[in-house]
With several copies, the nearest count.
Chain A
Amino acid sequence: TPTATPELSAEEYLRYGRQLIMPQIGLPGQLRLKNTRVLIIGIGGLGCPAASYLSSAGVGTLGLLDHDLVELSNLHRQILHTLAYIGRPKVLSAIDRLRAANPNVTYIPHITALDKENALEIIQNYDLVLDCTDHPRVRYLVSDAAVIAGKTVVSASALKTEGQLVVVNKPTSSEEGGRGPCYRCYWPRPPPTESVVSCGEGGVLGPVVGVMGVLQALEAVKIISSGALEGQRAPASANEAAAGSPGTEGPSKPEPASMLFFSSYSPTPFKTLRMKGRRADCISCGTPSDPALKITASTIPDYDNFCGPGPDAVLL
């Protein structure tokens, strides 16, 4: 559990000065960052830049989860890793690098794959989750566990020249239940096995996945510093709760559900797509007509088989 930290040190004022002077952050926003625990699932092409910017922005606790080892073919896009760490866990490579720039952050290594046995237990120790994984199987798992644990997920993905970003289970006043759509609301049914093409790892441009990872960090900083997560738990400190106007709006502004879509070779590369929002009958975040379908802590589905030919599956 994080220690409640009532104020910033002189070193922190200097280090974070250029974001502290912005009305969108201010002292209240910086204290919120310091008192927030963020879990990054996947320390690859998305997780590396996301972790880099969240660490440098002063998030208090960063959990990093990945079971993979650093490989040479990762280095064209996974910017935290170096040659010296080839063959060693990505999580440790990343933490060594992040700590060299910002030792103020508490880094928590999770050298494991996420599965239905450990997902809930790990996620419930954090305030916000970044889904930086590389398989649709894990994306449904992260979302299902986050809905049960009441956590928001910033979810991004990238392949070849394109990327997508959605915020899952976001505190909002514009949806019943005070939460935005879950991953299943955006993508209700996983693609059928027949439509999954297995062709090893897909190609991707480093800066394409990099842009998406940085945008995840940005979305996280915006959500945390606005105070939107504070309904989820008690304020971490008296100072924080009394911190005044900048960035203290809380989880109020109605925002329609949207997906950011990036197609880097298009003449208009970014689109904000308006999405349907929560599905009342969602088996994860809603009330399915057959109550037995509702996903609970003890019925998180088995994700091992639902999308075809194994871990190297690439969806069209």
Chain B
Amino acid sequence: MANIPITVEFSGGLELLFASERSLSLEVAEGTTVGELVNILVDKHMVDTRTELFVVDGTVRPGILVLINDADWELEGEESYVLEKKDTILFVSTLHGG
């Protein structure tokens, strides 16, 4: 199957888990879901070994929003959303400071 290019962005401190990279340009197999992307990120790109800071019980941990092209993934089918060419997936952690 062909690969498609996507962009993954990290924010709100999550970039620290990924070698301080705020933006990754990735190629994923056509048909890859966002749920599968999360596993790919943990397996291949996460540098910090504390995976529980990103994934808990098989999904993104509480306190992290997942945005598909700037829309909450809950509007797009959550884990089951199938990635399309040029999609941008943004992971944002709750900020609390003031």
Interface positions of B (Cβ within 8 A of A): 11-14, 16-17, 22, 52-53, 56, 61-63, 65, 67, 70-72, 74-75, 90, 92-98
A162-B95 contact in complex given A194-B52, A275-B72, A315-B13, C-beta closer than 8 Å: yes
Contacts of B94 in A (CB 8 A): 136, 157, 164, 187, 191, 315
B84, chain A: closest CB distance, angstroms: 17
A157-B97 contact in complex given A188-B62, A191-B63, C-beta closer than 8 Å: yes
Contacts of A272 in B (CB 8 A): 70
Are B63's CB and A274's CB within 8 A? Answer: no
Interface positions of A (Cβ within 8 A of B): 42, 44-47, 132-136, 139, 156-160, 162-164, 187-192, 194-195, 202, 204, 209, 259, 261, 263, 265-266, 271-276, 314-316
A159-B63 contact in complex given A273-B72, A274-B71, C-beta closer than 8 Å: no
Chain B binding surface SS class: mixed
Starting from the known contacts A273-B72, A315-B63, 12 additional A-B residue pairs (CB-CB under 8 Å) come to: A46-B98, A135-B96, A157-B94, A157-B95, A159-B95, A164-B12, A191-B94, A194-B53, A204-B97, A274-B71, A314-B97, A316-B93
Total A-B pairs, Cβ < 8 A: 109
Chain A binding surface SS class: mixed
Contacts of A274 in B (CB 8 A): 70-72, 75
Contacts of A134 in B (CB 8 A): 96-98
Contacts of B90 in A (CB 8 A): 271, 273
Contacts of B70 in A (CB 8 A): 271-274
Contacts of A209 in B (CB 8 A): 97-98
Contacts of B13 in A (CB 8 A): 159-160, 315-316
Are B63's CB and A195's CB within 8 A? Answer: yes
